[in-house]
Chains A and B, each alone.
Chain A
């Protein structure tokens, strides 16, 4: 099992035979350097890989990961985080801005992009902060960040831009380059620093601060109106509440430019896991109840949720080994994202492989404005490939990871182990 950074080799040539494509047809896929070639004209010396029983997805794209560099290189680095991404079948990820220092200037965005180009095992898009220092007050250097790195997506993720006027100005401002604001929807008054458990039966019994779904849905409702007012693009990060889905669905029907993501953990895990106060399961927004999980699955299936975003949030053990309310929120996700999607959506028949290719590749690539990601597996297209064995399964071991962190909520769970090969722009970045 090896992960190879993009910069350490040349694009390869590889023929995968008899593989199933997302549309259900079976054929050969030819990686001819940086693009897919015509499989009927493959030279004899090219390596052949039997793809029988495998599925050829386009390289996956994750709109929401935390790589922790610069600032918390003990929890994750761009090298290790992108290695985890490659192992999860990803060929591009967006790195959120809550680094230290915050990615609120062009210099930091350039630094992240530069390290990624040197050490990354996938493409990394630095997400810019919406406001300076993520404080929700003054706009960050949105335009300069866009000019420096091509970034179109901005987010204060981890914090909500709670001030409606600040959010309105940011929406208006990014229209100049068709930017998009990705909101961490959490009214900080309705769900303050102590809010760490879905508000309901369990929060009451455990004596943990309740995080009501209304703290999310009211912000989503406000932002939808601001997006409508300004004509700008709006993206809802990690939707957790059924009530938010109704608002997003109605907004799309009105023609508001809104997209939304769901995390793998919100598609599988429920709030009852908090019963033993295991901080591995502390995440923001919190794990919710079955009714919300089922609503989220249905929303991914019907397209109300456009894409999967892992919110991969590695944390050093010392940041998790506190009392529950004091522990850092977040869990890793890159290496199990596709596995969870297979178990929660594909196997139950809610989503086919074409749907997976859309929700985990095409839609996030479109959000980020990437033209060489999220494309079909077809001759002439960029050679981004995630070769999947849908039947392989294993018991998740948190230590079996490329990430530096072990805060894996799936530890000990039996899940699919699908990714066999990842190819990013012709480079084999992961293979087993």
Chain B
């Protein structure tokens, strides 16, 4: 694995390797000294062209817990307005000897372009309305834990499960990466959106799509509510916030229709009262904070897979259910 640009780049084996190692990595947060020496001497730059407290902090903690030197570079505003090209920005940082570039950009494709201009490993930390592969990985990680917890089966996985993704699919990088990764992992995905927020030619995607939220919810093992961006409300995609909530929100009434074991996901930040009611956000089935916690472990695993050497990541023996891939990266 040279870069992580798209969830589609990951084979089933690579995906499971990342998730299994993340299980082991998640143990680090319980330690008093939250530090593994595995990326000592490696430099990770978080290059964020767009604000994101959550994702940037998560990558920063992940890098630091692996002992990498982590630098946050905020390059807000498009490179066009600054007068410097994306290529120059990327090559300037690369020339400083960076090992990994974690890139968040408001434009789709920017990390893929950057990967052509640098020797560093590039991680797509969210590009425009394209993809957010580490979000899909942490979602898959959280789902697997949920399936194992509710079934009591330590081998339970995504097969036979239905994931319903609801909201502004057209502009959602979370939805794209989840569709691709969950396809790889064997889950059934159903997209729900008003027609104005359903992507063109969605029938060519490896999933199902419907405008009928209530029908989809009845079959859901996981309900993933997408954030409604403010600019969509003024863009004529739907008449009013109220109408959106009635049609596509996870309201208190809809919460009651979910299967008892169904889990509620949201990539955050949540618009409580719009796409998700407070009752749903705080329900017993809500896994929103688990998603956030998983983010650090999954990103540690991703950075290790990209930058780790041949040494095992965990130098002290840990009780692990899946240590077979702990030796980490495939070259």
Contacts and interface: CB of A to CB of B under 8 A. Distances in A.
B170 interface: yes
Contact of B79 (A206, A208, A326): A326
Contacts of A205: 176, 199, 204-205
Contact of A323 (B110, B176, B199, B204): B110
Given A207-B128, A207-B129, A326 B200 contact: no
A276 B78 CA distance: 20
A203 interface: yes
Interface in A60-92: none
Contact of A207 (B85, B87, B108): B108
A277 B201 CA distance: 19
A326 B107 contact: yes
Interface string B153-187: 00000000000000000110100100000000000
B194 interface: no
Contacts of B78: 322-323, 326
Contact of B112 (A199, A200, A276, A321): A276
A318 B88 CA distance: 9
Contacts of B201: 200-201, 204
A326 B80 CA distance: 7
A279 B130 CA distance: 16
B105 interface: yes
Contact of B109 (A200, A206, A318): A206
A208 B176 CA distance: 13
Contact of A203 (B110, B113, B171, B200): B200
Given A201-B204, A207-B108, A208-B109, A325 B128 contact: yes
A207 B173 contact: yes
B202 interface: yes
A199 B170 CA distance: 12
Interface string A198-235: 01110111111010000000000000000000000000
A322 B107 CA distance: 10
A324 interface: yes
A322 B170 CA distance: 23
A324 B202 contact: no
B221 interface: no
Contact of B170 (A204, A206, A277): A204
Contacts of A276: 112
Contacts of A210: 200
B127 interface: yes
Interface in B74-118: 78-80, 85-88, 105, 107-110, 112-113
B200 A207 contact: no
A204 B113 contact: no
A383 B133 CA distance: 62
Contacts of A279: 113
B131 interface: yes
A199 B109 contact: no
Interface string A109-133: 0000000000000000000000000
Interface string A267-289: 00000000011010000000000
A322 B85 CA distance: 5
B173 A321 contact: no
A321 B85 contact: yes
B127 to A, nearest CB: 7
A205 B78 CA distance: 22
Contacts of A199: 200
Given A318-B85, A326-B78, A204 B108 contact: no
Nearest to B106: A323
A326 B89 CA distance: 15
Contacts of B129: 207-208
A325 B173 CA distance: 16
A206 B202 CA distance: 12
Interface string A366-387: 0000000000000000000000
Nearest to B85: A321
Contact of B105 (A200, A204, A323): A323
Given A277-B113, A324-B108, A326-B78, A207 B176 contact: yes
Give the top 4 A-B pairs by smallest Cβ distance, nearest first: A277-B109, A323-B107, A207-B130, A204-B199
30 contacts: A200-B200, A204-B170, A204-B201, A204-B204, A205-B199, A205-B204, A205-B205, A206-B109, A207-B109, A207-B129, A207-B171, A208-B130, A210-B200, A277-B112, A318-B88, A321-B86, A321-B87, A322-B79, A322-B86, A322-B87, A323-B78, A323-B86, A323-B105, A323-B107, A323-B109, A323-B110, A323-B128, A324-B109, A324-B113, A325-B128
Interface of B: 78-80, 85-88, 105, 107-110, 112-113, 127-131, 170-171, 173, 176, 199-202, 204-205
Given A322-B78, A324-B108, 11 more contacts: A200-B200, A204-B170, A205-B176, A205-B204, A206-B109, A207-B131, A208-B109, A277-B109, A325-B108, A325-B128, A326-B86
